[in-house]
């Protein structure tokens, strides 16, 4: 409802014919003058009284709507069209008002309504359409609604509204579903039928919402929980929208009927006394129709016909959006008068608010008032476009015939009259549909992509086919090549085999020639091989044995290592002892050197003294005589018991070790004195053991080898002879090469006393049973037989003693069976000397040789030699003349028992 239109609307005119003539003809101009709009033709067109405006719209010829021409963007003038409909008397009225005339009288052909004031006075009103109680629903639709619906389909907003007292047929007119009789279908159903018949379901859309406004609260009849929908107005365009309302897309009539039924069921109805079906709420059906304009360029297209199809396809489609609003208003009667109970006054005010606000706005518009209170109520806000806006609006006011409701009817008529004065500016709602263009392009793009993919696929298949073909060709070429190569190879192989064969034949021929030679070589080689094998196995076994030996040695080595470790510890011990000994030795050496100097001093003094004595008899011995060393020297010079005693004394005073160490002294005199002292000591059996233990024997034997002095030789040999009386010492002498040393000494000796000492020593050794063989082996017997050459009886006596000792031991061994064969004495040629000396004048010689002969004779094995050497005679003599009775008896018994001797005696004709 635009506030104050600047259009060529006329000012307000009273449409009442009150106070003027009651004839209808006279008032014709007056009500008509109310509608200053000259577009009367529509009303003159009987078949479609309101379509004049509609066709005008279609032809974009606003001029036909009356008023001035308007520019496109400003819209075309379109006055609110008002039709009045009279309900027939209902049953109750037929009875109650039977005696009264209707309060209205209709003149439909004149489009006039006469309202009876009293029995003689009426007011006449002219409307755009006057529909009697006999008007069919179809006719009502066509007259009051169809032009609006067509406008909506063409892209204009449209409003169809019913106004009137409760029970006068508003709902009947608008909302009847016509289920019982299709002829009764109301405007809503018929409008939807027309819309659905016109739209193309593929490109157009029909969306419906159904709402109820009650006590200023807007409720969604399609979703009762949604009971406070807010109204959003776009300030620029003035468009009203309800973002919170349910929008249902309608594709067929049946679903629309379902929707209406559902909405009706939800409708909050306030029962009133007047009519239980009537409502105190306003019902609003909103139908949004969006249509794509086909085969027409948009009105403002600048296309000059040169564009390509591509450009055309990129052009967004043109759409027209028309909104049809069908409003079934609440009853227009005053609430306090309605007698409805349960409502307080405040509630009644609130219930009537929207309707009275609508009345006020329409009044303001009709009177071209500066202020239209659109914002006073939700209904007026919602219908902003319908009154004074851009919509084509058609109002049906419903009246009842009863004179009892004359006041209400009059008020309704006045409302209709005022509404007729409201001028709207119809505007086409046309725009480009970029969204659908985008969708279309998306689809096109999808198609192109699909096409591309299809081509790509085909291309890939083709590539695969070509690849496979190429592969086949390649493999065929490869096969051909392989075949050719194989053929070539076979050919060469064959050639090769043939040449080999030829060569073999040649070789065979050569071979046959060389065959025989070769065979021999082969045999030879085979033999060599066998030989080598034998050697190899021998080597192997040797190697095994060696390995075993190595193992053995290894284990021995391990043992040795162990014992070596033990020995090492022993050695360490001994080394310690040796160190001690060395210390001791150093000490002794110091003492020795001291003694040596003393001895030298003494010797010097002794020589001096001797010289003095030689010169002039006993003189005074220099003071040194009293010294111990002087005593030693004098004692050494003494002989006999006195000497021995002195030596013993010396031994005690000086110590054996020191004396023995002097045996190795540098000075010869000292050595001589020392060896004499030792010899004297060795003469004593008690000293012998000590001397040997102190190493004296070893020193003496060494002196025999090292010294060239015969005195030393003589004295040392004597000492050795004395020591050789002991069996243990005999073994020591032998083990230290005594025989060899003694025989060498003997060979160099000039003094018979030296030889006597040597012979005595050997003679003692000869008396040892254990040393027989060794002694003889080392030339002991031969040495004795050498010594006898000197002829000194003392020497010979010692030799004889030795031979007797040897013979005795040998005889004992032969008797015991440990010795077999001839006597070693005989072997070494001692027998002649024995026989020769058996009857010696020197009794010691004779005694020993006689004994030796007797021992030799004991054994038959010696008999022959003895007989041949002339021992038999001696034996006979011994058995007769020997002064020792035991020897005599022995000789006799031997001669008597030995068969050889007996035979010998016989042969020699010895009478025995």
Give Cα 100 to chain centroid, integer Å: 110
β-sheet bridge partners, residue 545: none
**Interface with ligand ADP, residue 275, by CB under 6 A:** yes
What's the min distance (Å) between Cβ of 227 and ligand ADP? Answer: 22
Footprint of ligand ADP on 345-404 (CB under 6 A): 398
Any alpha helices (H) in 404-433, and if so which ranges? 406-419
Given candidates 15, 54, 278, 363, which one binds ligand ADP under the rule CB under 6 A? 278
Give the separation between CA 161 and CA 163, rounded to whole angstroms. Answer: 7
Footprint of Mg ion on 812-871 (CB under 5 A): none
Instruction: Give the pairing of strands 217-220 and 232-233.
Output: unpaired
What's the min distance (Å) between Cβ of 97 and ligand ADP? Answer: 15
The answer to whether 909 is annotated as binding is no
> Which of these, 133, 132, 150, lies nearest to 142 by C-alpha position?
150
Binding mask 163-192 for Mg ion (x = CB under 5 A): -------xx---------------------
**Contacted entry of ligand ADP, Mg ion, none for residue 360, CB cut-off 5 to 8 Å set by kind:** none
Q: Which range in 87-95, 487-495, 530-538, 897-905 contacts ligand ADP by CB under 6 A?
A: 87-95
What's the min distance (Å) between Cβ of 275 and ligand ADP? Answer: 5
C-beta of residue 196 within 8 angstroms of C-beta of residue 188: no
Give the separation between CA 81 and CA 746, rounded to whole angstroms. Answer: 191
Given candidates 30, 79, 87, 392, which one binds ligand ADP under the rule CB under 6 A? 87
The DSSP 8-state label assigned to residue 399 in this structure reads E
Q: Which is nearer to ligand ADP, 175 or 904 (CB)?
A: 175
Q: What is the enclosing helix (H) or strand (E) of 458? A: helix 434-616
Q: Which is nearer to ligand ADP, 89 or 888 (CB)?
A: 89
Q: Which is nearer to ligand ADP, 209 or 332 (CB)?
A: 332
Length of the chain: 912
Rounded to the nearest 10°, the torsion over CA 655, 658, 659, 664 is: 170
Q: Which range in 122-130, 151-159, 278-286, 497-505 contacts Mg ion by CB under 5 A?
A: 278-286
Give the separation between CA 492 and CA 495, rounded to whole angstroms. Answer: 5
**Number of shown-chain residues binding ligand ADP (CB under 6 A):** 16
**Interface with ligand ADP, residue 172, by CB under 6 A:** yes
**Interface with ligand ADP, residue 169, by CB under 6 A:** yes
Q: How far apart are the first and last CA of the chain?
A: 206
CA–CA distances in Å: residue 431 to residues 14, 209, 317, 322: 41, 23, 8, 11
> Which of these, 299, 325, 6, lies nearest to 151 by C-alpha position?
325
Residue with tokens 């052009």: 315
Binding mask 848-877 for ligand ADP (x = CB under 6 A): ------------------------------
C-beta of residue 145 within 8 angstroms of C-beta of residue 311: no
Q: Which is nearer to ligand ADP, 88 or 622 (CB)?
A: 88
Given candidates 27, 35, 168, 814, which one binds ligand ADP under the rule CB under 6 A? 168
Give Cα 618 to chain centroid, integer Å: 122
β-sheet bridge partners, residue 123: 115
Q: Which is nearer to Mg ion, 278 or 743 (CB)?
A: 278
Give the separation between CA 102 and CA 86, rounded to whole angstroms. Answer: 10
Q: Which is nearer to Mg ion, 171 or 219 (CB)?
A: 171
Binding mask 307-346 for ligand ADP (x = CB under 6 A): ------------------------x---------------
C-beta of residue 2 within 8 angstroms of C-beta of residue 374: no
Report the residue closest to ligand ADP, judged by CB. Answer: 169
Binding mask 218-257 for ligand ADP (x = CB under 6 A): ----------------------------------------
The answer to whether 295 is annotated as binding is no
Given candidates 164, 752, 760, 802, which one binds ligand ADP under the rule CB under 6 A? 164
The answer to whether 276 is annotated as binding is no
Give the separation between CA 472 and CA 469, rounded to whole angstroms. Answer: 5
Q: 115: alpha, beta or left, given left = phi > 0 and alpha = psi -120 to 50? A: beta
**Residues near 274 by beta carbon (within 8 Å), at least 6 away in sequence:** 166, 167, 331, 333, 338, 339
The answer to whether 777 is annotated as binding is no
Give the separation between CA 772 and CA 821, rounded to whole angstroms. Answer: 14
What's the min distance (Å) between Cβ of 297 and ligand ADP? Answer: 46
The answer to whether 168 is annotated as binding is yes
**Interface with ligand ADP, residue 22, by CB under 6 A:** no
**Interface with ligand ADP, residue 833, by CB under 6 A:** no
Q: Which range in 23-31, 244-252, 274-282, 693-701 contacts Mg ion by CB under 5 A?
A: 274-282
The answer to whether 166 is annotated as binding is yes
Give the separation between CA 715 and CA 677, rounded to whole angstroms. Answer: 9
**Contacted entry of ligand ADP, Mg ion, none for residue 172, CB cut-off 5 to 8 Å set by kind:** ligand ADP
What's the min distance (Å) between Cβ of 70 and Mg ion? Answer: 37
CA–CA distances in Å: residue 779 to residues 727, 747, 773: 20, 13, 10
The answer to whether 165 is annotated as binding is yes
> Which of these, 858, 854, 855, lies nearest to 876 by C-alpha position?
854
Residues that bind ligand ADP in the complex, under the rule CB under 6 A: 87-88, 90, 164, 166-172, 275, 277-278, 331, 398
Residues that bind Mg ion in the complex, under the rule CB under 5 A: 170-171, 278
Annotated binding residues for ATP: 164-171
Annotated binding residues: 164-171
């Amino acid at each position: 409802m635009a506030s104050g239109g600047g259009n060529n609307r006329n000012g307000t005119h009273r449409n009442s014919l009150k106070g003027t003539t009651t004839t209808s003809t006279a008032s014709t101009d007056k009500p008509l003058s109310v509608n200053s709009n000259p577009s009367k033709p529509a009303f003159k067109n009987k078949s479609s009284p309101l379509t004049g405006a509609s066709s005008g719209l279609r032809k974009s010829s606003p001029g036909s709507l009356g008023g001035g021409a308007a520019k496109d963007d400003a819209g075309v003038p379109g006055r609110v069209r008002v039709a009045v409909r009279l309900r027939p008397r209902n049953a109750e009225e037929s009875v109650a008002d039977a005696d009264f005339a209707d309060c209205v009288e209709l003149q439909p052909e004149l489009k006039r309504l006469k309202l009876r004031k009293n029995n003689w006075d009426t007011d006449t009103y002219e409307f755009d359409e006057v529909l009697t109680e006999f008007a069919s629903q179809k006719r009502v639709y066509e007259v009051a609604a169809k032009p609006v619906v067509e406008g909506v389909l063409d892209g204009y907003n449209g409003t169809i509204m019913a106004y009137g007292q409760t029970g006068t047929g508003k709902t009947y007119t608008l909302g009847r579903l016509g289920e019982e009789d299709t002829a009764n279908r109301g405007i809503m159903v018929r409008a939807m039928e027309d819309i659905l018949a016109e739209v193309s379901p593929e490109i157009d859309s029909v969306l419906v919402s159904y709402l109820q406004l009650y006590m200023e609260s807007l409720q969604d009849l399609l979703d009762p929980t949604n009971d406070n929908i807010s109204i959003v107005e776009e300030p620029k365009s003035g468009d009203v929208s309800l973002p919170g309302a349910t929008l249902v897309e309608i594709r067929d009539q049946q679903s629309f009927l379902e929707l209406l039924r559902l909405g009706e069921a939800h409708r909050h109805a306030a029962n009133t006394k007047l009519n239980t079906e009537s409502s105190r709420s306003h019902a609003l059906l909103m139908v949004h129709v969006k249509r794509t304009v086909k085969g027409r360029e948009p009105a403002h297209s600048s296309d000059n016909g040169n564009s390509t199809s591509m450009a055309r396809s990129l052009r967004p489609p043109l759409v027209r959006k028309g909104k049809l609003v069908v409003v079934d208003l609440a009853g227009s009667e005053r609430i306090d008068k309605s007698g409805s109970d349960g409502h307080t006054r405040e509630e009644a005010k609130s219930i009537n608010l929207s309707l009275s606000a609508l009345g006020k706005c329409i009044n303001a518009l009709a009177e071209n008032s500066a202020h239209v209170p659109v914002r006073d109520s939700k209904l007026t806000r919602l219908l902003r476009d319908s009154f004074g806006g851009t919509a084509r609006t058609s109002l049906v006011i419903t009246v009842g015939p009863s004179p009892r409701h004359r006041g209400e009817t009059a008020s309704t008529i006045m409302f209709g009259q005022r509404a007729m004065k409201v001028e709207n500016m119809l505007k086409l709602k046309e725009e480009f549909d970029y969204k659908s263009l985008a969708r279309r392009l998306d689809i096109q793009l999808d198609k192109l992509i699909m096409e591309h993919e299809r081509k790509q696929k085909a291309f890939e298949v083709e590539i695969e086919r070509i690849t496979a073909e190429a592969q086949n060709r390649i493999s065929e070429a490869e096969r051909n090549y392989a075949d050719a190569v194989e053929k070539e190879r076979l050919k060469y192989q064959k050639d090769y085999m043939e040449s080999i064969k030829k060569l073999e034949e040649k070789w065979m021929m050569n071979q046959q020639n060389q065959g025989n030679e070769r065979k021999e070589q082969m045999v030879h080689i085979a033999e060599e091989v066998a030989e080598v094998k034998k050697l190899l196995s021998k080597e192997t076994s040797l190697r095994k044995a060696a390995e075993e030996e190595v193992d053995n040695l290894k284990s021995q080595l391990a043992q040795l290592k162990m014992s070596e470790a033990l020995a090492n510890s022993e050695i360490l011990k001994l080394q310690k002892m040796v160190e001690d000994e060395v210390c001791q030795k150093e000490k002794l050496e110091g003492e020795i050197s001291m003694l040596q100097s003393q001895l030298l001093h003494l010797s010097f003094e002794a020589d001096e003294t001797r010289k003095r004595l030689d010169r002039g008899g006993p003189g005074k011995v220099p003071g040194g005589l009293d010294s111990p060393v002087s005593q030693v020297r004098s004692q050494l010079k003494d002989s006999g018991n006195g000497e021995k005693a002195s030596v013993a004394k010396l031994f005690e005073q000086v110590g054996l070790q020191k004396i023995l160490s002097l045996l190795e002294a540098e000075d010869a005199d000292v050595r001589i004195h020392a060896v004499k002292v030792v010899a004297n000591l060795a003469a004593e059996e008690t000293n012998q053991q000590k001397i040997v233990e102190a190493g004296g024997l070893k020193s003496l034997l060494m002196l025999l080898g090292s010294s060239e002095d015969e005195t030393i030789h003589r004295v040392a040999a004597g000492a050795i002879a004395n020591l050789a009386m002991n069996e243990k010492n005999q073994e020591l002498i032998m083990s230290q090469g005594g025989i060899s040393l003694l025989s060498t000494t003997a060979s160099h000796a000039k003094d018979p006393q030296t030889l006597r000492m040597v012979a005595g020593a050997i003679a003692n050794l000869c008396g040892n049973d254990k040393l027989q063989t060794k002694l003889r082996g080392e030339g002991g017997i031969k040495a004795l037989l050498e010594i006898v050459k000197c002829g000194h009886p003392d020497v010979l006596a010692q030799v004889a003693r030795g031979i007797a000792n040897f013979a005795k031991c040998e005889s004992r061994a032969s008797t015991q069976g440990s010795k077999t064969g001839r006597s070693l004495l005989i072997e070494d040629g001692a027998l002649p000397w024995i026989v020769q000396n058996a009857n010696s004048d020197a009794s010691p010689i004779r005694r020993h040789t006689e004994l030796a002969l007797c021992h030799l004779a004991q054994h038959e094995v010696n008999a022959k030699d003895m007989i041949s050497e002339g021992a038999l005679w001696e034996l006979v003599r011994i058995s007769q003349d020997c002064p020792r009775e035991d020897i005599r008896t022995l000789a006799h018994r031997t001669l008597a028992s030995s068969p050889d001797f007996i035979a010998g005696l016989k042969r020699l004709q010895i009478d025995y």
